[in-house]
Amino acid sequence: EGMNAQDLGKILHREPAEIVKKLFMLGVMTNQNQSLDKDTIELLAAEYGIESEEKVHEDISDIDNLYTKEMEASKESKNQVKRPPVVTIMGHVDHGKTTLLDRLRHTNVSEHEAGGITQSIGAYQVRLDDRLITFLDTPGHAAFSNMRARGAEITDIVVLVVAADDGVMPQTIEAIDHAKSAQVPIIVAVNKIDKPGANPDHVMEQLMKYGLVPEDWGGDTIFVKISAKTGENVDDLLQMILLQADVMELQADPQQKAIGTVVEARLDKGRGPVADLLVQQGTLKIGDPIVIGDTYGRVRVMTNDKGRRVKKATPSTPVEITGLNDVPSSADKLVVFDDEKTARSVGEQRAKNALEKQRENVQHVTLDNLFDTMKRENMKEVDIVLKADVQGSAEALQQSLEKIDVEGVRVNIIHSGVGAINESDVTLAGASNAFIIGFNVRPTATAKSQAESDNVDIRLYNIIYKAMDDVEAAMKGMLEPTY
Ligand code: GDP
């Protein structure tokens, strides 16, 4: 489903025109772009004497493609309705991004919701006059561009915060450039107007140089003078965001298959893999069979930004979900499948492909004879598979380990991830003679027995410098033996 004559032409290695002609002979009127139903595809496959199953399968594991198709389909849809804008806040350090996010988080939250607002799920929604605005909770252009670099473009509008007592600073300019290169419109929030030294007009003058000209001065950029601290004019800012959203005609079709993007993901001790995601099209429902990146499962529990369990999530809604087999990465795309079996096989296929890709560029070494191997093979790198409980620790440890340098030999993290050490980690380490470091995580039972039979070394730590010390000692041939 969702495939047209062009796609089938590719799979069957025929010209799309030939496919259209063939279908015509079979009594199906179509053009190259019209999507075909399952029966028609099977009919056609039978006509070409091909067990299409596997090839069609290959195609549906391309979830980027499925995602793009749903995104495109929404543009043609007659069921489109207005959707809330998705906003990222950017600006120079200390100009008030966090203060503004906190202020907004507590704005327009009705009494009965107030209990749940501490919930952090990577994004939250603010209500103004019965309309919603979605704010991504990680401010700054680094997060924004990281997501973009991984193919996720979820921000509709950038709010650029500039402190009126400080003016345009280096990161202000960076933020402008990042937003511009993503072609995301900027609304300027001139902040800290409550301060004695505040000079909002100066900020506006400065920003003209970067093409941000206020409407009053003949430009088309919206400026709002606010105080994130006192809350002054913060409602005006929300109003302007909604106005900008109207100009952009942001719409989505809540009736089509849901697609979305992961904002954050982690392993929860009690609940297993947890993903915070933004639904972009369609409506995500409890029980939906899903693939996210290289993981799969069913939406088991869905929680909104107020900490409440919900049964469905419409476009631009941030939700936290459980029910995945593994922890996905931020910026991973979510697609929904008709049945769990398909989702599972697609997910497994994708995980396998990802593993193979990782294997392609690995070198061989073991921990036990690390020092000897280093000398014998004149190694320049020591390979490690790294697993941690949260992304932050994984990154911190990776950075620390990669700083180790023993006479020109360095550490190379061939795979780093969040979650328990699993079989695929052991397989990867075994295949590349790497060893595994677990930080605040442990191997699963099967991973543990596999590691024992494959002689893969797993080292567990909960202190970063201890892990660094051990690795460095091993590289110097001075590691204490463990029993
Ligand atoms: P960020 O680095 O951009 O996230 O900036 P913060 O939100 O952490 O703010 C930096 C400092 O500026 C904090 O001490 C805030 O209390 C202060 N601040 C933020 N907004 C305002 C404002 O509107 N008025 C005043 N007077 N101080 C503010």
Task: State the distance from the centre of ligand 1 to the C-alpha of 85, rounded, in angstroms.
Answer: 24
Beta-strand runs (E) in 269-368 = 272-281, 284-285, 289-292, 295-298, 302-303, 312-313, 318-322, 333-336
| Residues facing 384 on adjacent strands | 413, 435
Q: How far apart are the first and last CA of the chain?
A: 56
Counting ligand 1 atoms within 8 A of each CB, the residue from 88, 89, 94 with the most, and so the one to mutate, is 94
Q: What does DSSP assign to residue 113?
A: G
How many Å apart are CA 478 and CA 483, to the nearest integer? Answer: 16
Question: Binding site for GTP: what residues are annotated?
Answer: 91-98, 137-141, 191-194
Strands 284-285 and 312-313: antiparallel
Task: State the distance from the centre of ligand 1 to the C-alpha of 90, rounded, in angstroms.
Answer: 13
The pLDDT, as a whole number, for residue 252 is: 95
Q: Which atom of ligand 1 is nearest to the CA of 161?
A: 3
Are 89 and 156 in contact by the 8 Å Cβ rule? The answer is no
The pLDDT, as a whole number, for residue 310 is: 96
How many Å apart are CA 45 and CA 433, to the nearest integer? Answer: 44
Return the residue whose CA atom lies nearest to atom 20 of ligand 1: 96
Question: Binding site: what residues are annotated?
Answer: 91-98, 137-141, 191-194
pTM: 0.67
Counting ligand 1 atoms within 8 A of each CB, the residue from 89, 99, 160 with the most, and so the one to mutate, is 99
How many Å apart are CA 278 and CA 316, to the nearest integer? Answer: 6
Q: Which two tokens stand for residue 348?
A: 């497994």
What does 121-134 look like in DSSP terms, one character per residue?
Answer: -SEEEEEETTEEEE
Task: State the distance from the centre of ligand 1 to the C-alpha of 199, rounded, in angstroms.
Answer: 16
Q: Which atom of ligand 1 is nearest to the CA of 139?
A: 4
The pLDDT, as a whole number, for residue 133 is: 96
Residues contacting ligand 1 via CB (< 6 Å): 91, 93-99, 191-192, 194-195, 227-229
Task: State the distance from the centre of ligand 1 to the C-alpha of 119, rounded, in angstroms.
Answer: 22
Q: Which atom of ligand 1 is nearest to the CA of 92?
A: 3
Q: Which atom of ligand 1 is nearest to the CA of 102?
A: 7
The pLDDT, as a whole number, for residue 364 is: 38
How many Å apart are CA 409 and CA 298, to the nearest integer? Answer: 44
Return the residue whose CA atom lies nearest to atom 2 of ligand 1: 94
How many Å apart are CA 165 and CA 201, to the nearest integer? Answer: 11
| Phi, psi for 299 (deg, rounded to 5) | -65, 110
Task: State the distance from the centre of ligand 1 to the C-alpha of 95, rounded, in angstroms.
Answer: 6
Task: State the distance from the centre of ligand 1 to the C-alpha of 124, rounded, in angstroms.
Answer: 20
The pLDDT, as a whole number, for residue 18 is: 85
Task: State the distance from the centre of ligand 1 to the C-alpha of 228, rounded, in angstroms.
Answer: 7
The pLDDT, as a whole number, for residue 434 is: 81
User: Helix, strand, or coil here: 199?
Assistant: coil
Return the residue whose CA atom lies nearest to atom 25 of ligand 1: 192
Are 117 and 106 in contact by the 8 Å Cβ rule? The answer is yes
The pLDDT, as a whole number, for residue 482 is: 55
* Tens place of pLDDT per residue across the chain (483 aa): 478 888 888 777 788 888 888 888 888 888 888 888 888 888 887 777 665 454 444 467 888 888 988 888 888 889 999 999 999 999 999 999 999 999 998 875 544 555 545 567 899 999 998 999 999 998 887 778 777 767 788 999 999 999 999 999 988 988 888 788 788 999 999 999 999 999 999 999 999 999 999 998 999 999 999 999 999 999 999 999 999 999 999 999 999 999 999 999 999 988 999 999 999 999 999 999 999 999 999 999 999 998 999 999 999 999 999 999 999 998 999 999 999 999 999 999 888 888 776 654 333 355 666 777 777 767 778 889 899 999 889 999 999 999 998 888 889 888 888 889 988 788 777 766 788 999 999 999 989 998 888 788 899 999 988 999 988 888 887 665 554
